[in-house]
């Protein structure tokens, strides 16, 4: 049972929050992605344009890290945020490479950190080139991102980016410190995901608004949108880590559990499970590297204790908050697209 | 024989390039450092002020990385460059923390990269806290540095810093690729040290000049000074890696050889050695982890082939170039201090 949410359940959700549009799930997701097709094409072009190094190996590793099957959510948000604030030119696309470079750099450092072996359906970079080169190429991509962010003559852009990087590394460190801690709670979880994921998604929106010369309240509204959306995005990621189809997701299932990483579904399960179940769950967590049988048992427990449902309902609430924040903007096509994107984050299966 | 350069030889050098001041070596070095004492005290204060994280472990590791016995050469250069261009206030000291944070971040990543076990007389951070936390705290310090650099309202400062970080990581990567390559030449060596060391030392000077609102030619002159000085600094480092007193240097001797890192003394030795010596030398290099006996043999070879002398003469030539670049500035006390610093870089024993 790889997908715990039935078509029916999703249908109900759609009726609640998207009363005007009830489509078939797959065609709706495809429709959203198709509407961004010209943007995605331009984004791929700028991503190639700005990272070039004089060192062939740096290019090779950067290329490998950057041009896997990324969702390009962050650059798309930069582009949409700028567009919503009235700017839509080449500079916007150039800027949109910044958060994707940071994201790629952070993934390459995180993979080393977590010992992850698969990323986007392929080997992690460090498994091919070693820790040494991968840490350094990560540093190189961070630097290229900051260089690019500094080119637009507005120090608020570089500051927003640097703040996000500091928060991202802090988030990863808290997660590291809290691994296997059975008294890990929802508050700690939210602290971590705000920092490690939502801060950059928020900054992706913020820099778009800043580049467009938006007013303070617009910049704030788009930062908030990103912060809510980023948290929802991570919650869905944490659900998918247990429920997705490994081949569709492009990485192994159950890696969070294997690494002792406690996410919201697990927080709920630890709280709601019977004494006996809780004992067994904590044992699996302490031991690390669960067997296939143990993983199936944990997945069932996450389902029966409502851990997955609860996480999904929290993500849904955050997506509603994200959408509400956009109300200050006049009805525009871009606003609809950002609303659609919020929906996409919730309904994606990889 | 830990010091291959006799007092006499240094005396000759002093007479050539510092005809006006021939002091006893130790008191001269002490004199230079003493003249910067109030600056060093202020630098320590700002270094504590700007890295604070909400996460105690991040502070602990940052503290450990930052407050070893660093020379604080980079912040001192920022302060002196700004002073030479007419600015000497609190903001200058705040800015001076930027290159030291980057330096500390880079050291912590490099230690992971190179497997170095000692740094500044103590265990490397990653040996205590593990690769995971150390990579992330390095990222955190990079981010804090960029945040700080963006605060001064001049995007050229953040750009200069980001460029240096990109070059530093490229330099380390070239070094990694070229490890144990017997056809490694002086040109490659210069490429590496310009990137991995001189770029940040140059940026340290440049940002001081930029903050002081210096003109284009002053900014260029101070960047060049840093670029020459930085190369000389690394050459002396590479000599000291073979010749220093381990307890004085604060790290093990012969680590470059152990890691297969080819530096200028070795380039010369490979070129000048007899066929038999060359064969043995390349064997030691290929094998890695030389014995004490092999290390002594290599040191003697670096001496007899003139590898150490040649490297020192190249460093000396670069220091002269560094000093010449300062000629466009009116005679000022700070200019003398920068001249003294150039001398210090050449004569330091750790």
Q: Which DSSP string corresponds to A215-267? A: -HHHHHHHHHHHHHHHHHHHHHHHHHHHHS-HHHHTS-TTHHHHTT---HHHH
What CA–CA distance (Å, rounded) separates A88 from A97?
15
Domain that holds residue B280: 23-347
- How many A-B residue pairs are in contact by the CB < 8 A criterion? 147
What CA–CA distance (Å, rounded) separates A194 from B333?
50
Residue A350 in 3-state DSSP?
Answer: coil
Inter-chain CB proximity B53 and A131 less than 8 Å: no
pLDDT at position B24: 60
A56 contact residues in B (CB cutoff 8 A):
none
**What's the mean per-residue pLDDT of chain B?**
85
As to burial, measured by CB atoms within 10 angstroms (0-12 exposed, 13-18 middle, 19+ buried), residue B283 is: exposed
Each residue's pLDDT tens digit, B183-216: 889 999 999 999 999 999 999 999 999 999 999 9
C-alpha A272: how far from chain center: 27
Backbone phi and psi for residue B215, each to the nearest 5 degrees, phi listed first: -75, 170
Picking from B82, B31, B71, the residue whose alpha carbon sits closest to that of residue B47 is: B71
pLDDT at position A249: 59
* Closest CB to A170 among B132, B140, B159: B140
A268–chain B nearest CA distance, Å: 25
**What's the mean per-residue pLDDT of chain A?**
85
Enumerate residues 6+ apart whose C-beta is below 8 A from A253: A241, A242, A243, A244, A246, A295
Q: Which two tokens stand for residue A45?
A: 């072009």
DSSP string, B14-63: HHHH-TT----HHHHHHHHHHHTHHHHHHHHHHHHHH---SSHHHHHHHH
Each residue's pLDDT tens digit, A178-197: 888 888 899 999 999 999 99
Lowest mean pLDDT among A51-55, A173-177, B304-308: A51-55
Averaged pLDDT, B58-75: 84
Q: Is residue A13 part of a domain?
A: no
- Residue A273: which CATH number? 1.10.600.10
The answer to whether residue A240 scores a pLDDT higher than 70 is: yes
Averaged pLDDT, B312-338: 92
The answer to whether residue B251 scores a pLDDT higher than 90 is: no
- Write the CA distances from B20 to B320, B332, B339, integer angstroms: 15, 16, 12
Of A115, A169, A180, which to mutate for an interface test with B (greatest number of B Cβ within 10 Å)?
A169
Q: Is residue B327 part of a domain?
A: yes
Predicted model pTM: 0.86
What CA–CA distance (Å, rounded) separates A14 from A18?
5
The answer to whether residue B19 scores a pLDDT higher than 50 is: no
A53 contact residues in B (CB cutoff 8 A):
166, 170
What CA–CA distance (Å, rounded) separates A76 from A173?
28
B158 contact residues in A (CB cutoff 8 A):
146, 149-150, 155, 158
Each residue's pLDDT tens digit, A265-305: 999 999 999 999 999 999 999 888 889 999 999 999 999 99
B51 close to B144: Cβ distance less than 8 angstroms: yes
A143 contact residues in B (CB cutoff 8 A):
162-163, 165-166, 168-169
pLDDT at position B313: 97
B129 contact residues in A (CB cutoff 8 A):
none
- Minimal Cα distance from A167: which residue of B? B140
H/E stretch holding B94: helix B90-114
* Closest CB to A162 among B53, B143, B177: B143
Inter-chain CB proximity B135 and A139 less than 8 Å: no
Each residue's pLDDT tens digit, A101-152: 999 999 888 876 544 444 445 566 766 777 778 888 899 999 999 999 999 9
The answer to whether residue B334 scores a pLDDT higher than 90 is: no
The alpha carbons of chain B give a radius of gyration, in whole angstroms, of 20
The answer to whether residue B248 scores a pLDDT higher than 70 is: no
Give the residue numbers in B contacting A (CB under 8 Å), as ranges: 53-55, 57-58, 106, 109, 112-114, 131-133, 135-137, 139-140, 142-144, 146-147, 149-155, 158-159, 161-163, 165-166, 168-170, 172-174, 176-177
Inter-chain CB proximity B135 and A142 less than 8 Å: no
A161 contact residues in B (CB cutoff 8 A):
146
Q: Is residue B334 part of a domain?
A: yes
Q: Which is more confident, A257 or B229?
A: B229
- Minimal Cα distance from B144: which residue of A? A166
Read off the pLDDT band of A306 (50, 70, 90).
Answer: very high
The answer to whether residue B98 scores a pLDDT higher than 90 is: yes
pLDDT at position A18: 38
Q: Which two tokens stand for residue A311?
A: 């996480």
Q: Say what percent of chain B tops pLDDT 90.
A: 55
C-alpha B62: how far from chain center: 20
Q: Which two tokens stand for residue A27?
A: 């065609």
pLDDT at position A235: 97
What CA–CA distance (Å, rounded) separates B88 from A192?
41
The answer to whether residue B341 scores a pLDDT higher than 70 is: yes
H/E stretch holding B119: strand B118-119
A159 close to B150: Cβ distance less than 8 angstroms: yes
Of B54, B126, B137, B146, which to mutate for an interface test with A (greatest number of A Cβ within 10 Å)?
B146
Q: Is residue A7 part of a domain?
A: no
Inter-chain CB proximity A144 and B162 less than 8 Å: yes
Cβ neighbour number for residue A9 with a 10 Å cutoff: 12
Q: Is residue A3 part of a domain?
A: no
Based on the structure, what is the number of domains in chain A? 1
pLDDT at position B69: 65
Lowest mean pLDDT among B20-24, B51-55, B115-119, B280-284: B115-119
Read off the pLDDT band of B21 (50, 70, 90).
Answer: very low
Averaged pLDDT, A332-340: 87
Averaged pLDDT, B106-112: 81
Q: Say what percent of chain B tops pLDDT 70.
A: 86
Q: Say what the ipTM of the complex is.
A: 0.84
Picking from A149, A57, A152, the residue whose alpha carbon sits closest to that of residue A99 is: A149
Q: Which two tokens stand for residue A150?
A: 């500094």
Q: Is residue B12 part of a domain?
A: no
What CA–CA distance (Å, rounded) separates B312 from B319?
10
Q: Is residue B111 part of a domain?
A: yes
B112 contact residues in A (CB cutoff 8 A):
131-132, 135
Each residue's pLDDT tens digit, A65-79: 887 667 899 999 999
When mean pLDDT is compared over A112-121, A247-256, A333-342, B297-306, the highest value belongs to: B297-306
Q: Is residue A42 part of a domain?
A: yes
Residue A89 in 3-state DSSP?
Answer: coil
Residue B95 in 3-state DSSP?
Answer: helix
Strand-pair category, B122-123 with A118-119: unpaired
Each residue's pLDDT tens digit, B128-172: 777 778 888 899 999 999 999 999 989 899 999 999 999 999 998
B166 contact residues in A (CB cutoff 8 A):
53, 140, 143-144, 147
């Amino acid at each position: 049972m790889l997908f715990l949410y039935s078509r029916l359940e999703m249908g109900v959700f759609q009726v609640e929050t998207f009363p005007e549009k009830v489509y078939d799930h797959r065609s709706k997701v495809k429709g959203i992605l198709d509407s961004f097709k010209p943007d995605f094409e331009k984004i791929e072009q700028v991503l190639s344009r700005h990272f070039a190094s004089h060192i062939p190996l740096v290019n090779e590793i950067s290329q490998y890290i950057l041009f896997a099957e990324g969702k390009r959510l962050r650059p798309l948000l930069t582009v949409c945020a700028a567009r919503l604030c009235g700017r839509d030119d080449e500079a916007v696309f150039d800027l949109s490479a910044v958060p994707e470079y940071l994201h790629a750099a952070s993934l390459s450092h995180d993979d080393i950190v977590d010992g992850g072996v698969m990323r986007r359906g392929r080997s992690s970079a460090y498994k091919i080139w070693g820790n040494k080169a991968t840490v350094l190429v990560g540093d190189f991509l961070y630097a290229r991102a900051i260089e690019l962010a500094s080119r637009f003559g507005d120090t608020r852009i570089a500051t927003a980016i640097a703040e996000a990087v500091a928060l991202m590394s802090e988030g990863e460190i808290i997660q590291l410190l809290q691994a296997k801690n059975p008294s890990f709670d929802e508050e700690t979880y939210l602290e971590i995901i705000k920092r490690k994921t939502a801060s950059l998604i928020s900054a992706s929106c913020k820099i778009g608004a800043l580049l467009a010369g938006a007013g303070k309240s617009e910049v704030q509204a788009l930062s908030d949108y990103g912060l809510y959306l980023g948290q929802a995005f991570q919650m869905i990621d944490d659900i998918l880590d247990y429920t997705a189809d490994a081949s569709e997701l492009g990485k192994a299932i159950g890696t969070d559990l294997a690494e002792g990483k406690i996410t919201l579904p697990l927080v709920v399960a630890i709280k709601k499970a019977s004494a006996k179940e809780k004992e067994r769950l904590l044992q699996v967590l302490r031991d690390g590297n669960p067997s296939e049988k143990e993983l199936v048992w944990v997945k069932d427990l996450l389902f029966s204790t409502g851990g997955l449902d609860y996480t999904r309902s929290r993500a849904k609430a955050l997506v509603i908050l994200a959408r509400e924040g956009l109300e200050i903007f006049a009805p525009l096509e871009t606003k609809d697209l950002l609303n659609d994107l919020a929906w996409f984050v919730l309904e994606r299966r990889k």
